[in-house]
Amino acid sequence: MKDDIIYLVLLGSCIGFGQFYRKFTDPEQRKLVGTGVGLLVVLSVSGFHMLHMLFCYLVSALLIIYASRKVCHLACFGFMFGYLFFFRSLSFLGYDAPPGHTNMIQMILTLKLVGLAFEVNNAYTKSKTVADGQKDTAAVAQPSLTEADRALLKLSMLDIFHYSFNYVGVLTGPYITFKTYRDAMYLPFSGKADCIGATVDKLKVIPLYAGLFLLVSYIWPLQYATSAEFYEERSFLYRLMYVWPTFFIFRMRIYTGILLSECVCTMAGVGAYPKLAGSKPGHGPSRDDYTTTATEDSSPLEYDFETVRNIDVINTERCWTFREAMKYWNMCVQYWMAMYVYKRFPSKKYRTLVTLAVSAIWHGVYAGYYFCICGAPFYLPIEDLYVKLFLKDATGQKRTVLNVLCWISKFFAFSYLGIAFLLLTVDKIWYYYSSVYHFGYVLWIVLYGAGVLIAKQRKANARREAKAGQDGAKQD
């Protein structure tokens, strides 16, 4: 709880500072003030461990600027994730472990610096395409470099430093691209968007999630799942069902933290774009002409903060399937994983597993992260199979019943895998799963086997019907 209190105080201070921060209209002043406050936040929670972040910034910035732009993204990826592993292994090497919040800062810094290296590589590749197109006079249409592309190709050490340590998102995210950061510095949208209104809308629901977190964690504390009483006196059914309240507590805690971190962005005006830009979480505007259109349009424009929206609580809770729920969870980080791991990995067969493995590595070194996150690819085919067999063509009341069953299965899967994420170590995880006879895994194996048999039977029946139809046609 001490860490949570520190976390809340820092985020609350950053949210309040946003009202003052938006008053700086000069981009250079905004950069200096934002970076100064960011360094103060990092120093206040990290102390001398702040040297880790400064070292990572220095090496990554040198790689981005001076290494070949054909491979700078791969070099930066290897260095930052390698250092992240080393950073978390300090306690095993006999050194003091960094504070928990320092770990979160290091996680976000890893995404930022590696993401920036990929942005530079993309801009370089685009510039080569433009240059080749200018030589080819027969080419009909060629891409053009945007202002953001040119800025990426002219990055300085100071630019990377400001981006790395600006107070917005430095503690817990959300992840924003360098382009989004640069737009927040140079474009006037933060002064036009309803930053206070957007922040208040998010703050309204936070007491509900925080209150539910405190209430349920008081009744069903996670620590109880590691006690002797839990395993010796509680029934199998009680132990199995205990994953539901523990994952509910986890969700409420995550909802509270992520929405507060979004409020830091909205109050500072970071991620504000006209709605006509078609912004997407993590990515930013999906239209390239949004600045021109916004300037030329004399009518008042509506603005949103979709770029920094990191979670969709309502859809996460009410959607029917596991696969769909994943899309609404930690969306800015998912964008990073999709753009820089999933789409870049050469093998289509293994890209999903590799992406989830990178996500697990990013979360930490504990075995629980791998049990949880890497367990998802084994559950998803089961869900997809049953959706195709029963839910896809269902209608009316039958579909409603199947949707509810799918929703229950979704949250059981999240909760059953999530208990490993919370218990962390192999011994605790194995002890818990053994106490419930590995019920979840056994159930999923049985369901998958049954689903495959049903699918084969349906195909066989369809072939017999088709053959019977052909024979009947021949007789006629």
Q: For the chain, first and last CA: distance in Å? A: 80
DSSP structure string for 288-322: TTHHHHHHH--SPPPEE-GGG----HHHHHH-S-H
d(CA 219, CA 208): 17
d(CA 303, CA 284): 13
Question: Which residue intervals of 424-438 are DSSP H helices?
Answer: 426-435
Which residues make Cβ contacts (< 8 Å) with residue 452, sequence separation at least 6? 385
- Environment class of residue 360 by beta-carbon count within 10 Å: exposed (0-12), middle (13-18) or buried (19+)? buried
d(CA 285, CA 299): 20
Check 73, 101, 330, 438 and give the catalytic one: 330
d(CA 48, CA 40): 12
Amino acid at 110: T
Amino acid at 9: V
Q: Is the peptide bond before 174 cis (omega within 30 degrees of 0)?
A: yes
d(CA 407, CA 322): 8
Our CA angle for 255, 310, 194, nearest 5°, is: 100
Q: Report the SS3 class of residue 177.
A: coil
d(CA 411, CA 319): 10
Q: CA-CA distances (angstroms) from residue 438 to 239, 360, 379, 432, 433?
A: 12, 22, 14, 9, 5
Our CA angle for 171, 217, 380, nearest 5°, is: 75
d(CA 410, CA 405): 9
Q: Are 116 and 178 in contact (CB under 8 A)?
A: yes
d(CA 200, CA 182): 25
Q: Report the SS3 class of residue 284.
A: strand
Q: Which long-range contacts (CB under 8 A, 24 or more apart) does 390-395 make?
A: none
Catalytic residue check, 310: no
Token pair in block for residue 303: 């603005």
Check 162, 363, 403, 438 and give the catalytic one: 363
Catalytic residue check, 363: yes
Token pair in block for residue 369: 């992260």
Would you name the residues annotated as active-site residues? Answer: 330, 363
